[in-house]
Amino acid sequence: MKDRIAVVTGAAGGIGSATVRRLLADGLQVVATDVEGASVRDLSEHHIALDVTNPHDVARAMGEILDRFGRVDVLVNNAGITGSQEATTAGETAIEEFDRVMAVNVRGPFLCARALLPAMVDAGGGQIITIASVAGLIAFPGRCAYTTSKGAAVMLARSLAVDYGHLGIRSNAICPGMVETPMTQWRLDQPDLRARVESRIPIGRVAQPDDIADAVSVLASGRLAYANGSAIVLDGGWSSW
């Protein structure tokens, strides 16, 4: 599998960096991308700056990747944000903040998939893996922008599955629950809050980035050959209550 090419967006983050390391260990060549290109230089031999919200930047970056490798076999749409403290309920969320969350979490995966789909079609197939959230399936209170964006990300993954499955392109969403990353660390560093969170997870702990990277690895390998349009929940059983 050494000649298989994967692109990971938002690679500097906890899930992103774990995914890059795992896919490299699996034998893929991995292009690590992030809005701050310098932040992913040490992750992979292949790296590039990429603002997933900017169509011109996406076209440039994906064009450079295709020029270098000739194709992309796996796209991992991982770049995402939760939004600032202004991203709360619908009545309290600033319009600009709502748009910012949607731009990264929905527009980004759309633009990246759109840029690579012609090459994947020409190659006879590919894998598109979108990191969504259990919040895209169950509304999180006071998180209107984030929940809306992740619901849209799930449906984008399903739309790609419906439209391109017959061309050999499989698209799936991974829906994590609480994951211990730099984005969530400020909450989990509060012992009382961490205890409350973990008390609601039947498995008894929050996820680690490697838990999510494991699922990406399985999908990228092609072993789940019949998975297409799936929303794979990885929340330790939290949403089963």
The neighbouring-strand residues paired with 75 are: 7, 128
Q: What is the identity of the amino acid at 94?
A: A
Taking only Cα atoms into account, the Rg of the chain, rounded to an integer number of angstroms, comes to: 17
**Length of the chain, in residues:** 241
Active site residue 146: yes
Nearest-5° Cα angle at 231, 187 to 151: 65
DSSP structure class, residue 69: H
DSSP per-residue codes, 64-122: HHHHHHS--SEEEE-------TT--STTTS-HHHHHHHHIIIIIHHHHHHHHHHHHHHH
φ, ψ of residue 116 in degrees (nearest 5): -100, -15
98, 110, 146, 164: the active-site residue: 146
The neighbouring-strand residues paired with 31 are: 7, 46
Determine whether 103 is exposed, middle or buried from the number of CB atoms within 10 Å of its CB (0-12, 13-18, 19+).
middle
3-state secondary structure 7-54: EECCCCCHHHHHHHHHHHHCCCEEEEEECCHHHHCCCCCEEEECCCCC
Which residues carry out catalysis?
Answer: 146
